[in-house]
Structure formats: C-alpha cells, structure tokens
Amino acid sequence: MKVKGLFYPSLRTLLTAGLLLAAAVVPAGAQGHTSLTPLLIKLDGWQAEEPEGMTMNTGGINMVTATRKYVQGQKELDAMLMVGNQPMAMGQQEQMSVDTAHGRMRIRQINGFQVHTTLDKRDNSGGVMVVLGKKEGSGAMFILTFKGISDEEALKIAKKFDWQAMRKQTAKLLAQP
C-alpha cells in the first residue's frame, strides 16, 4: 500500500517507524510474539496466511509484533498487533472527524477503546487502529489496514477480532519491567 499523506501510513511504514522509534518495553525472556499470534484469527470468507511475529530486543530497541495477511479476491487486509513505543501520537482526543474529497479520518470511542479509522477515497484503502493500552510512553495497538473496501466495512471486520483478549495479553507485555 502506498503512503497517501499523513493519514494513510502503510503497515510496512508503521512497522519500520516502530522499529526505529521503539523503546525498552519487553525484557529478553518475555513470551513475546508467540503470545500474540493466536489473537490474529481466521476470517470467514477470507484466505489467510499463517500469522507471523517478531520479538526484538537489541541495543535498547525492544518491540513485539504479530502480523497476518488476508485476501478475498481484489480485497486485502493486513492485521498487526504491536507493543512498544508507538510511531504515532496516541493523544487524549476522544472524538474527531475530518472528511475531504480525497479522504476521511475519524477518532471515536467503541466499547471502551479509542478507535482511529482512515480512508483514502481514491482507492478505498486505509486503516483501523485500536488503542489497546498505554504505559509510560509505551503502548499497544491493533492495526487493520485494508484495500478495496470501505472504512465502515473494515471496522466491522476489525470488530470480529477479540479486542478484550488483545488488551489483556498486551497488558501482560506492557507490565514487564
């Protein structure tokens, strides 16, 4: 997915930025990504690759990620769980909506989670980001990037993942000294 301005980072861009900006969160002996990959479920009607993950602890850079790719015809999804120093601000803004001819961005509260959605209207691509937790400059989030579907359809799909279980598991990683 191509980066389409400030509101549309690709999954690869987020991962790269996260790797560059990560801070010590997860100790070397932590369970890491193997505790996150089972949370990236199979989706009915979608072909899914096997989930993959990474636990990185090197030179003060520590991050845990789990990813999975889904395809349905021309539609694409990339799901990611990330624990570390987030590559974007997760501010106190609880509600916001911006709509232009080319894109849309929304921040809202859904079932106790701060949820950010973006849409590039030109190619029906964007992302859904669910803030799972924060701790002293570190945090955890679930990201679902999409192509070929609307932001509302992507949000419905994102809700099929168990955000509560994700919050619980990522909290364990954030609680590590």
* Dihedral, CA of residue 127, residue 128, residue 134 and residue 136, to nearest 10: 20
**CA quadruple 90, 133, 149, 41: dihedral, nearest 10:** 160
Tokens 């029906």 belong to residue: 124
Tell me, rounded to whole angstroms, the distance of Cα 98 from its chain centroid: 20
Query: pLDDT, tens digit, for every residue of 124-153?
Result: 999 999 999 987 768 899 999 999 999 999
- The answer, yes or no, to whether residue 16 has pLDDT greater than 70, is no
- Give percent of the chain above pLDDT 70: 73
pLDDT of residue 41: 97
Q: Record the pTM.
A: 0.79
Which comes out higher in pLDDT, residue 161 or 7? 161
pLDDT of 79: 97
Burial of 21 (0-12, 13-18, 19+ CB in 10 A): middle
The pLDDT value recorded for residue 114 is: 93
For residue 171, is pLDDT > 70?
Answer: yes
User: Region 51-66: what's the mean pLDDT?
Assistant: 81
pLDDT in tens, 152-167: 999 999 999 999 999 9
Categorize the per-residue pLDDT at 60 as very low, low, confident or very high, splitting at 50, 70 and 90.
low
Residue 74 burial by Cβ neighbours in a 10 Å radius (0-12, 13-18, 19+): exposed
Helix, strand, coil percentages, rounded to 5, for the chain = 20, 40, 40
In terms of Cβ atoms closer than 10 Å to its own Cβ (0-12, 13-18, 19+), residue 137 is: exposed
131 is written with which tokens? 């803030």
CB 84 within 8 A of CB 25: yes
Beta bridge partner(s), residue 62: 57
Instruction: Over range 91-112, report the average pLDDT.
Output: 84
Residue 22 scores a pLDDT above 80? no
Q: Model confidence at 94, in pLDDT bands (50, 70, 90)?
A: low
CA 51 to chain centre: 14
